[in-house]
């Protein structure tokens, strides 16, 4: 693990393949590298031969669980192709410093206060990180280009289907935005900042408008993972009830591993653009419950209770993407479908619950109820 003064940590390619010689390697900078998408994108780029630099924020606990498997002890730093540095999207000076120091070819802005419901609780902070944070990073890139004259830097902004909000499906790049939360409004601002820097300064900047994407690494307070964690724990007897909010909301759920490839593909085009990334299939939360509980022979109705605490002041009812442009121009398509995604997440969470059960039975852990 990193020491308290060590702001650089490092990693190798996950499949162990030999990297390209240093002079030929591309350099990527990822904000939000410790998040779900950051971890998949790092694996993807390391496998493509990139050097990857990630910006992590200071936390009172280590927050690198999702990338620890590609971490290499800094004492073996000559083998390392992933490096981590402290920065924060609320701190413009840190962003400018690392852009200047690292001089990346590709910048992926994935960092965000990404929980929609939480954004109603901390709207000001959400706007600062999600909207103004994107502006700070764009400005750091622009200033770096102005100072160096470089022409080989590309920028990716993590946009969201939440920007469509109340506008009915199917939603494509030409669908009007009608955001329904402080998070979604902030993502709209970040989207337009990105468009503006493209138009005003000629920056190669792309907005990926990604619909929900999930995985076994999904944060445990997003609905899919909350459900699959509960399925695992109920299956092994660590939990009996699951409290949820609106079961009728419909989402276009894909697999995060597929979606990070689309991010990279956008930056490999001749011209920058904005792209919807989606499976084009939508399911309600109730359908996700049916599929995940049903997969392990449980009936969700025996376990799920509605808690109004999880209802949102304004909800997004129905999201279903039209990814025609990404399919046609990028050649991208999702590989993992809905049922396969559910199985992947439930399988992993049943195994995780079994390991928890061993600790609980041995008296090393409390059988906590749901997070």
Q: Does residue 183 have an active-site annotation? A: yes
Q: Which one of ligand NDP, ligand GDR, none is in contact with 136 (Cβ closer than 5 to 8 A by kind)?
A: none
112 binds ligand NDP (CB under 6 A): yes
Binder to ligand NDP among 13, 42, 113, 224 (CB under 6 A)?
113
The reply to whether 3 belongs to the active site is: no
Is 261 catalytic? The answer is no
- State the nearest-atom distance from the C-beta of 312 to ligand GDR, in Å: 5
Q: Does 38 bind ligand NDP (CB under 6 A)?
A: yes
Q: How is 104-161 classified by DSSP, letter by letter?
A: -SEEEE------HHHHHHSHHHHHIIIIIHHHHHHHHHHHHHHHH-----EEEEEEEG
Shortest spacing between CB 117 and ligand GDR, in angstroms: 6
What tokens appear for 7 in the block?
């702001």
Nearest residue to ligand NDP, by Cβ distance, number only: 35
CA distance 216 to 228: 9
Binding of ligand NDP by 343 (CB under 6 A)? no
Q: In whole angstroms, what is the distance from residue 112 CA to residue 93 CA?
A: 18
Q: By rule CB under 6 A, what string of x and - marks binding of each residue 189-218 to ligand GDR?
A: ----------------------xx------
Q: Which of 10, 39, 160, 186 is catalytic?
A: 160
Q: Which of 9, 27, 29, 32: binder of ligand NDP (CB under 6 A)?
A: 32
Q: Beginning with the edge strand found earlier in the chain, give each strand of the sheet holding 51-56 in spatial order.
A: 71-72, 10-11, 82-86, 51-56, 27-31, 106-109, 154-160, 204-210, 274-277
DSSP letter at 61? S
Cβ-contact 340, 222 below 8 angstroms: no
Q: Which entry of ligand GDR, ligand NDP, none binds 37, CB below 5 to 8 A by partner kind? A: ligand NDP
Interface region with ligand GDR, contact rule CB under 6 A, candidates 126-134, 137-145, 228-236, 239-247: 239-247
Cα dist. 25→49, 130, 248, 308 in Å?
A: 6, 30, 47, 51
Nearest-approach distance from CB 142 to ligand GDR, in angstroms: 25
Residues classed as catalytic: 160, 162, 183
- Site residues (vs ligand GDR, CB under 6 A): 114, 116-117, 160-162, 211-212, 221-223, 226, 244-246, 249, 251, 285, 310, 312, 315
């Amino acid at each position: 693990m990193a020491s308290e003064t060590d702001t650089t940590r490092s990693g190798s390619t996950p499949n162990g393949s030999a990297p390209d010689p240093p002079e030929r390697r591309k350099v990527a900078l990822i904000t939000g590298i410790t998040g779900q998408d950051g971890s998949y994108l790092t694996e993807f780029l390391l496998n493509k031969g990139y050097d990857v630099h990630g910006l992590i924020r200071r936390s009172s606990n280590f927050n690198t669980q999702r990338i620890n498997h590609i971490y290499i002890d800094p004492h073996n730093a000559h083998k390392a192709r992933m490096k981590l540095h402290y920065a924060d999207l609320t701190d413009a000076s840190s962003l400018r410093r690392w852009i200047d120091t690292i001089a990346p070819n590709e910048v992926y802005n994935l960092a965000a206060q990404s929980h929609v419901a939480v954004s109603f609780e901390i709207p000001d902070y959400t706007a600062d990180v999600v909207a103004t944070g994107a502006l700070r990073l764009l400005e750091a890139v622009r200033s770096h280009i102005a100072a160096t004259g470089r022409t080989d830097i590309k920028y990716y902004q993590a946009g969201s289907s939440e920007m469509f909000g109340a506008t009915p499906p199917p939603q494509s790049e030409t669908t009007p935005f009608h955001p329904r939360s402080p998070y979604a409004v902030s993502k709209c601002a970040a989207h337009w900042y990105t468009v503006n820097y493209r138009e005003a300064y000629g920056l190669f900047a792309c907005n990926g408008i990604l619909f929900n994407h999930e995985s076994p690494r999904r944060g445990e307070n997003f609905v899919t993972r909350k459900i699959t964690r509960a399925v695992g724990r109920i299956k092994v007897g660590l939990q009996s009830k699951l409290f949820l909010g609106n079961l009728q909301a419909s989402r276009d759920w894909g697999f995060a591993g597929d979606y990070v490839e689309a991010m990279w593909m956008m930056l490999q085009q001749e011209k920058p653009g904005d792209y919807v990334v989606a499976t084009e299939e939508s399911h309600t939360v109730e359908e996700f419950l049916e599929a995940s509980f049903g997969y392990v022979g449980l009936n969700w109705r025996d376990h799920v209770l509605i808690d109004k605490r999880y209802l949102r002041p304004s909800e997004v009812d129905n999201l279903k993407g039209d990814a025609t442009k990404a399919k046609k121009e990028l050649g991208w398509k999702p590989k993992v479908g809905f049922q396969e995604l559910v199985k992947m997440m439930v399988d992993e969470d049943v195994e995780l619950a079994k390991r928890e059960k061993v600790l609980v039975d041995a008296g090393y852990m409390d059988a906590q109820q749901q997070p």
